[in-house]
Structure 1
Amino acid sequence: MSPRSAAPRCLVVVPVFGQVEMTHDLIPEILRESDLVDVLVVDNRGDYAPYAAERVIAPGTNLGWAGGSNLGFRIAFREGYTHAMTLNNDTRLSPGFFAGVLDERLPGDAGLIGPVYDDAGGHGWQKAEFDGPAAEYEPVERYWQVPCFDGTAMMISAGAWEAVGELDERTFGKYGWGANLDWCLRVADAGFGIYLTEMSYMNHLGRKTATANTHNLRYLFDAIRGLRGGMSTVYGRKWRDKFKHAPQPRALAEEVSA
């Protein structure tokens, strides 16, 4: 893959279902970097009231996380953005968050990029050493090449999107757990890198929207069943073997364009 050439600009897609106040708390943290990003709220319930300069689209039905994200991605790349990110509304972002994930010192083959955060997200390498408030995070000029990462904040480049297409909405159940893993595998198979950067950090408040509408244990049971069933269907019973290699950190100053 060739290095990025166009000045980066990202459309941040926030799929929501209720929890309007929580989204309102997040919007200013996105828009403080309006020189790099725009924000689109995908209103799956149809009751979102805009807070500031965010765009809002109501699809008229609940598309869920994967479907809402895909809708935003289609809009982003049709409109010429270099990147698009799906971002949960139950997050809080470090200062300079988007400058970090869009840092041009990251390798030129970057297809999927994410932050570190205060939750392991099912993948130990995404857990930051720092576990305090995002507002107090000090960026670290280091990144990791990883086999996969969590879908809470997941940015894809236009090139990777063109190569692999959308998140799989159908295979992984209504909560979409596992669609992020499948996406990572497809992006890697297409020749792109998958990276986490310690320049960006977030707090994850943890499944606030899902558990507001579904009992937590039922949600977890259905989500995990969708993940395991979907991955086994697509990749076979030994799908976990695809994620066994240990990531290694690299300093941003060591970047060599792929």
Structure 2
Amino acid sequence: MLYIVIPVFNRLAYTRACLQSLRQQTINRFRTIVVDDGSTDGTSEVLAREFPEVEVLQGDGNLFWTAGVNMGIRRALEHGADRVMTLNNDVICDAAFVERMLHWAHKYPEALLGALELDASTAQPIYGGEVFSWLTHRRSDLLEVLKPEQRRGLHPVTYLPGRGLLIPAQVFASIGLFDEKRLPHYLADYDFTSVARRHGFPVYINYDAHLLTYPEESGQEITRKQKSLRGYYEHLFGIRGGGNLRNFTHFALKNCPTPLVPLFLVNGYARRLVGYFLH
């Protein structure tokens, strides 16, 4: 059985829309767990009333993304899940999303799978996976590399984000859960999928499965738009900071090939220190 785990904190309208899109899937062979990390907008009460099929777990407001996801994964595994999907609440699933993810999951039962992301306002592809060079610190965006006729099926990638990430249960048995101690919010998904790949689990982006997302609503985009010294500090040191130097250091030490670590760290620090003002 597939279990879908969705961590939430407020933004009830997004959660409703996401869960409604799951109700409209072409197949219903899955169950959903929402981890409500201390929402103050009535999320838990509304979900109990409007989505009784959804199991809601309660956090204390200090879980953030990684610990919230891990709480849901633990419950899913207790229920006997053979696959878990992590999903953000600010996405809309195409009606055939789950069906198309499971189609390839059955063909490649040990693979971790992500999905093609489309801008919810324009329906244009905005994220289709990437291949990363640890040496040059450059990302090769598959949307720029693949020809239109190649944008179907599976394509190998270096890592995947957690918004729509399908994970076989045996991956957790092999490498454990997401690293909530060292990566409480950002980079935990890239770290997890990178570690899984190094342990022999294939990591693919699935161009047949589509998610609608709201790129302008991400925490990183909001922070960068409202540039300030406080925002710069939060960018580099805050738990939700997209350029958090501590998180980046942990990610680099865990995943970068050892001979390249010094160069990778210097490159990465420089990008984070100046990147806030360039975007």
Instruction: Normalising by structure 2, report the TM-score.
Output: 0.69
Percent identity, aligned pairs only, is 19
Instruction: Normalising by structure 1, report the TM-score.
Output: 0.74
CA distance in 2, matches of 1:54, 1:18: 17
Question: Residue 161 of structure 2 is aligned with which of 150, 169, 188?
Answer: 150
Aligned-pair CA distance for 1:227: 4.2
CA distance in 2, matches of 1:60, 1:109: 35
CA distance in 2, matches of 1:142, 1:179: 26
Deviations 1:169-198 (A, max 9, x none): 1212x42x2212221222123221111111
Deviations 1:206-252 (A, max 9, x none): 373747997865365422225422223434583698xxxxxxxxxxx
The equivalent of 1:95 in structure 2 is: 95
Aligned-pair CA distance for 1:199: 1.6
Mapped pair 1:37 → 2:56: no
- The residue type paired with residue 248 of structure 2 is R
Determine helix, strand or coil for the equivalent of 2:127.
coil
Conserved? CA contact 2:160–2:190, under 8 Å: yes
Aligned-pair CA distance for 1:110: 2.9
RMSD of aligned Cα (Å): 3.1
Determine helix, strand or coil for the equivalent of 2:166.
strand
Conserved? CA contact 1:126–1:196, under 8 Å: no
Q: How many residues align?
A: 222
Question: Residue 120 of structure 1 is aligned with which of 99, 120, 127?
Answer: 127
Question: Relative to structure 1, is the Cα distance of residues 81 and 224 closer, same or farther in structure 2, using a 3 angstrom cutoff?
Answer: same
Mapped pair 1:76 → 2:69: no
Determine helix, strand or coil for the equivalent of 2:167.
strand
Question: Relative to structure 1, is the Cα distance of residues 213 and 72 closer, same or farther in structure 2, using a 3 angstrom cutoff?
Answer: farther
Determine helix, strand or coil for the equivalent of 1:102.
helix
CA distance in 1, matches of 2:93, 2:249: 32
CA distance in 2, matches of 1:168, 1:126: 29
Determine helix, strand or coil for the equivalent of 1:35.
coil
Aligned-pair CA distance for 1:120: 2.9
User: Could you list the runs of 5+ residues in structure 2 that have no partner in the other structure?
Assistant: 119-125, 131-140, 265-279
Which structure's relative contact order is higher, taking Cα pairs within 8 Å and 6+ residues apart? 1
The equivalent of 2:215 in structure 1 is: 206
